Each structure stands twice: as structure tokens, then as C-alpha cells.
Structure 1
Amino acid sequence: MLIVFSGLPGTGKTTLAYELARRLNAVYLRIDVIEQAIRDAGVLAGDVGSSGYGVANAVALSNLGLGHCVIADGVNPVRESRAAWQTVALAAGVELVDVEVICSDRQEHQRRVECRTGDIPGLTPPTWRSVMAHEYEAWAQAPLSVDTANLSAAEAVERLLAHLGR
């Protein structure tokens, strides 16, 4: 199974994806970690562009081929990144579960963004202004949606596990 978490920074997707991966003993792929490793390697002159997603897609396909459950954690802001995950799931012959994480309480979302501290060395957390300006296309097909405004992380993970039949 390939479970892909999407959503703007500060919605709680990393918290949920990490805990779900821990609970399912799944391979966990965090796009921010991959992108920062590419930056740190100095192999690209500027913006890493879609490179982090490309690496994550390849690593996911490899692990799915070994029979592992894979959880991917990234903004996935455009149709192309979402379609690439679908291509990976099709190639591996596994179910794809898209999870969009939102925080419908704008003040709480802003508080989370403004109060967060970085956990990836070298990566500066986004500002509220950059989150609000972030490109994020509407979904062609509605994914499973989790609103973290009124759910604790533990409650959200339990709902996800129930949805997955676990």
C-alpha cells in the first residue's frame, strides 16, 4: 500500500504521517528531508524543483516492490506530483491512499506555522506569508481529508487506521 500525505505546511501532515508510519512499521519518505539532502549535496545550483519528488517516487517504488507499505509526506501541491504517486502505485500494483491534511481554523494554522521550530538541519521553516502564497491546486478527485483543527494527532491517526482497516 502507498499512502501519500498532502497539504500545506503547518497543517499537521508530518506529525500524522510519521506516527502512522511508526504504527504500521512502514517506510517513511519525507520530501523535506530528501530536498534538503539534495541542497546539502550542492548538486543543483538553485531550487531543487521536482528532484525531491522524483527521488521519493523511485525509492517508494523500490520499497513497494519489496512488499513494504510506504508513507510519503509532502505538500504535493500540483496535479503532476499527485499523478506521479498514482503512477508509482500502478507500477507496483498496490493500492494508493491519498490523504489531504488541512487545518480549517486559520488562526490555529497560522499559530502552528509561526511557532514551529525546524527539525531538519539547514532547512528554514516557512513563514505564514510563504504558506499563504504557496501554490496549491484543487484536487481532480477528492482525497481522504483529515482536518486537524478539531482533532488531536492521536485521534486523527486512529481515524486513519480505522479507514485503512487496521
Structure 2
Amino acid sequence: MLIVFSGLPATGKTSIAKALVKKRHFCYLRIDEIEHQILKAYPLEGDIGSIGYDIACALALSNLRLGNTVIADCVNPIAESRENWKAVASQLNVPIVEIEMMCSDQVEHRKRVETRIADIEHFILPDWNAVVGREYLKRNEPRLVIDTAKLSIESLVTQIEAYIATFQC
């Protein structure tokens, strides 16, 4: 099974994905870490495009072939990245579980953006203007939408686990 966490920065993707990984021992792929290592090794000017997503899809495919459940932690802002995850799942005929994270409380979301501390060494987090100005296309496909504004990580993980269970045989 391929589980794709999507959403703007500071909506809780990483915190919730990591909590689920710790509880269920799934394989975890985080686009921020992949892209950060690429830029550290090969400093590029401007946007690195889909390189991080391409690598993550290849790693997901390898792990899915081994029978592992994979969690991808990414913004996943455009149709191309979303279709690429679907293609990975389709190639191996495994279910794809799409989870979109959001924070409906704009004051809370901004507070998270402005107060969070990077958990990747030397990683530069986006500021509020970068988050709200980021391209993020609306979605219409079936997915679980999680509002992280009020509930605890534990209760959100429980909600996600119940949703995942509907995809398992």
C-alpha cells in the first residue's frame, strides 16, 4: 500500500506521518529530506523541479516491491506529482491512500509556520508569505481530508488508521 500525505507546509503532515510510521513500522519517504540532500550535494540555482519526487517515486516502487507499506510525506501541489504517485501504485497494483492535510484556522497555521523549528540540519523553512503564495492546485479526487486545527496527533492517527483499514484486504 502507498500512503501519500499531501498539503501545504506546517499543516501537520510530517508530525502525523512520523507518528503513524512509529506505530505501524511503515517505510517513510520525505520529499523535504530528499530535496535538501540534493541541494546540499549539488547546489542549483532556482527550482530543482521534480527531481526529489522522481527519486521518492523510485524508492517507493522499490519498497512496495518488497511488500512494504510506504508513506510519502510531500506537499504534492500539482497534478503531475499526484499522477506520478498513482502510476507507482498502479504499476504494482497496490492501493494508493491519499490523505490531504490542512489547517482551517489561519491564525493557528501562521503560528505553526512562524514558530516551527527545522528538524533537518541546515534546512531553511518557508516563511508565511512563501506558504500562502505557494502553488497548490485544488483537488477533486477521492481522498481523506484531515483538518489539523483542533485535534491531537493521536486522535488524527486513529482517524487515519481507520481510513487505511478500508483499503486493506
TM-score normalized with structure 2 length: 0.94
| Matches for 1:100-119 after TM superposition, within 5 Å | 100-119=100-119
Cα displacement (A) at 1:43: 6.3
What is the aligned partner in structure 1 of residue 134 from structure 2?
134
Cα displacement (A) at 1:105: 0.4
Secondary structure, in 3 states, of the residue corresponding to 2:158? helix
Distance 1:136 1:164 in 2: 24
Cα displacement (A) at 1:48: 1.7
Instruction: Give deviations 1:98-138, integer Å, cap 9, x for gaps.
Output: 00000000000000000001111121111001000000001
8 Å CA contact 2:89–2:96 kept in 1: the answer is yes
Cα displacement (A) at 1:46: 4.1
What is the aligned partner in structure 1 of residue 99 from structure 2?
99
Alignment pair present for 1:83 and 2:70: no
Runs of 4+ in 1 over 3 A off after TM superposition: 43-46
What is the aligned partner in structure 1 of residue 55 from structure 2?
55
Distance 2:111 2:142 in 1: 27
User: Number of paired residues?
Assistant: 166
What is the aligned partner in structure 2 of residue 5 from structure 1?
5
| Matches for 1:14-93 after TM superposition, within 5 Å | 14-42=14-42, 44-93=44-93
Instruction: Give deviations 1:131-152, integer Å, cap 9, x for gaps.
Output: 0000000113141111001211
What is the aligned partner in structure 2 of residue 149 from structure 1?
149
Give aligned-pair identity as a percent. Answer: 48
Amino acid in structure 1 at the alignment position of 2:150: N
Runs of 5+ unmatched residues, structure 2: none
Distance 1:17 1:141 in 2: 21
Cα displacement (A) at 1:76: 0.1
Secondary structure, in 3 states, of the residue corresponding to 2:9? coil
Amino acid in structure 2 at the alignment position of 1:104: S
Report the aligned-residue RMSD. 1.3
Amino acid in structure 1 at the alignment position of 2:59: V
Secondary structure, in 3 states, of the residue corresponding to 2:149? coil
Amino acid in structure 2 at the alignment position of 1:17: A
Distance 2:120 2:47 in 1: 17
Runs of 5+ unmatched residues, structure 1: none
Amino acid in structure 2 at the alignment position of 1:122: H
Distance 1:159 1:98 in 2: 13
Secondary structure, in 3 states, of the residue corresponding to 1:164? helix
Is the deviation greater in 120-129 or in 107-116?
A: 120-129
Amino acid in structure 2 at the alignment position of 1:145: V
Amino acid in structure 2 at the alignment position of 1:56: A
TM-score normalized with structure 1 length: 0.96
